[in-house]
Amino acid sequence: MDLHVESRNVAMAPRWKTEVEQRIAALQAGHDDLTHARVTLTKNKHHKKLDDVAEALVVITLPGRHTFTARKEEKTFEEAIRAAFAAVEIELRKFRDKRASTEVRVPPVPLRGVVCKLFPREGYGFILQEGGGEVYFHRNAVHGFTFEELSDGQEIAFNVEVGEKGPQATTVERIPAIG
């Protein structure tokens, strides 16, 4: 990993550089994904503040152009370094957790059924599932055509979830014509 530690408007104290190196090593612990890190310590004189302000800028880069940046201003460089690394660590942990997630979203396989009851004015109906049982659906669940195009006895494909009052179709679609 490529590490650059620099200072502006102040001489680099060995303890600051050591702390930065230790914090970078802690970010890398158990991972080999950091490709570049740059830490800049700057002594700023702000016109709004009477005292000098210590600023730490931490920029971490991972493969795939993923960059994490934190800039913190505190009274001392130790505090600024600690705050900037804490912020980068949180973002890096979120990114690594998301990347490590093995959850794969697979679209549900549609079920088949027949429209058995329609209530056009109210905007809902019921589907008789293959194997028995009725499933409620609302006009907003109809996709690829309009609710008004539905008719009793029409064969459809649908996905179902458990609603407050029992099974409910989340999507209702026409069955594609074969041939």
Closest CA to 59 of 100, 98, 13, 27: 27
Cite the DSSP H helix spans in 29-173.
77-100
Retrieve residue 41's tokens.
């310590």
Measured at the alpha carbon of residue 169, what is the angle toward residues 163 and 173, in degrees to the nearest 5?
Answer: 165
Asked whether residue 52 carries a pLDDT value surpassing 80, the answer given is no
Interval 24-31 mean pLDDT: 90
Asked whether residue 75 carries a pLDDT value surpassing 70, the answer given is yes
- Largest Cα–Cα distance of the chain, in whole Å? 82
Domains observed in the chain: 2-100 (3.30.160.100), 111-174 (2.40.50.140)
Asked whether residue 46 carries a pLDDT value surpassing 80, the answer given is no
With cut-offs at 50, 70 and 90, classify the pLDDT of residue 105: confident
The answer to whether the predicted template modeling score (pTM) of the entire model surpasses 0.75 is no
Whether the CB-CB separation of 55 and 73 falls below 8 Å is answered with yes
What is the signed CA dihedral for 88, 90, 96, 99, rounded to 10 degrees? -110
pLDDT (0 to 100) of residue 31: 86
Average pLDDT, the chain: 90
Whether the CB-CB separation of 57 and 40 falls below 8 Å is answered with yes
Asked whether residue 35 carries a pLDDT value surpassing 80, the answer given is yes
Retrieve residue 175's tokens.
């069955």
Look at 41-45, 91-95, 101-105, 106-110 and tell me which has the smallest mean pLDDT.
101-105
Burial class (CB in 10 A: 0-12, 13-18, 19+), 178: exposed
Cα 45 to Cα 42, 73, 138, distances in angstroms? 10, 11, 63
